[in-house]
Amino acid sequence: MPELPEVEVVRAGLEPAVTGASVASVTVFDERSLRRHSGPSEDFIDRLIGRTFTAAVRRGKFLWLPLEPVRGDVTHILEAQDNGTAAAERSGVSAQQNVQSPEFPKEAVVVHLGMSGQVLLRTVDAPDDRLTRIRIELASPAHGALMMNFADQRIFGSMAIDELVPTADGQAAGLGSAQALVPRSVAHIARDPLDPAFDQRRFFAALAQRNTSIKRALLDQNLISGIGNIYADESLWAARIHYNQPTNTLSLAKAQLLLTEVRTVLAKALSEGGTSFDAQYVNVNGASGYFSHSLNAYGQQGKSCPRCGRPIARERFMNRGSHFCPHCQRLRISAALS
């Protein structure tokens, strides 16, 4: 259940270790973790060995590690100069990043943790973590030789090599890099609410336009990314909105309040979860920190609502548990009919 705060903890933990690190070896224990890679595991391995990571970038729950372009790839350089530099100069956008110039990465390893994925950094002599599906051995300038283990119980997560494409708005693609380059498979994912380039107006317009419930909208990564079941319930509780309230019945003020609460909840979780990184025995764990979060609604069914004291309820919604206070978060039917 890693959501934005947990994935950010992973990104921040990986960043100092993988930046500038090269891949010494790759072992794939379970090919299902490469489901989103277009090609067999041999392709994944061959294209990764010897390559160097340049950063650790995150948008919403998606994480990617851009790969330094292979030196001496003349075809690619000529192609980039022809299609990128010349075109950019002709169109007069030279002030913007020319993301197609040869020094920019052209591809990245995209990591999605799914429900149960973890990225764990270990020393080379450490025993394999349980449920490790992919192991990447790194030569890191900061930490020497180390292992990056991708562990995943339910195998909803994945790793994949994907092409980097320019962002639609020309802004930095996510947190961790100033480059306006996003993996093709992540391009359709909306920016997250902590991203300075998050388009609030577009989000509010979508809420007014769509014919759907507010929780479904919060979980729709094409509208707003980074929110999962836990922080959706927590944000709705904070904003006193019922999960099934139609989005087009929310006033702009209420929608603005909700977005504020979303940001508050995510930022608070982030501040609580960002302390576990150890520089010596690097332990990046997507699941850690969850239980230290002070939750008001999620998993609190039967307990007292911290606001009004009445019991928190749990109902099935979208094949998920929805936790809410029936007193504080009421469906506003009259608004729905207007």
286 binds DNA (CB under 7 A): no
Q: Which of 210, 240, 307, 320 is catalytic?
A: 320
60 binds DNA (CB under 7 A): yes
* Residue window 299-328: x/- pattern of binding to DNA, with contact defined by CB under 7 A: -------------------xxxx-------
- Other beta carbons within 10 angstroms of residue 50's beta carbon come to 10
The three-state secondary structure class of 95 is coil
How many residues does the structure list for the chain?
338
Query: What are the tokens at 181?
Result: 């380059």
Annotated catalytic residue 71? no
Residue closest to 142 by CA, chosen among 12, 286, 280, 283: 280
Annotated catalytic residue 3? yes
Using the contact rule CB under 7 A, the part of the chain among 47-55, 66-74, 143-151, 214-222 near DNA is 214-222
The three-state secondary structure class of 31 is helix
Candidates 155, 187, 270, 331; binder of DNA (CB under 7 A) is 155
Annotated catalytic residue 310? no
Q: Cα–Cα distance between 7 and 256 in angstroms, integer?
A: 25
Under 8 Å between Cβ of 148 and 56: no
Question: Could you say which residues in the range 78-117 bind DNA, by CB under 7 A?
Answer: 112, 114-115
The three-state secondary structure class of 267 is helix
Nearer to DNA, 15 or 234 (CB): 234
Site size for DNA (CB under 7 A): 30
Q: Which of 2, 183, 193, 246 is catalytic?
A: 2
* Residue window 163-202: x/- pattern of binding to DNA, with contact defined by CB under 7 A: ----------------------x-----------------
Nearer to DNA, 100 or 329 (CB): 329
Residue closest to 132 by CA, chosen among 144, 116, 146, 112: 116
230 binds DNA (CB under 7 A): yes
- Give Cα separations from 59 to 150, 179, 203, 337 (angstroms): 19, 13, 16, 36
Q: Which residue has the tokens 């075809």?
A: 75
Q: Which of 11, 47, 59, 61 is catalytic?
A: 61
Annotated catalytic residue 202? no
Query: What are the tokens at 212?
Result: 């759907």
**Could you list the active site residues?**
2-3, 61, 320
Binding site for DNA (CB under 7 A): 1, 32, 35, 60-62, 112, 114-115, 130-131, 153-156, 185, 210-213, 216, 219, 221, 228-230, 318-321
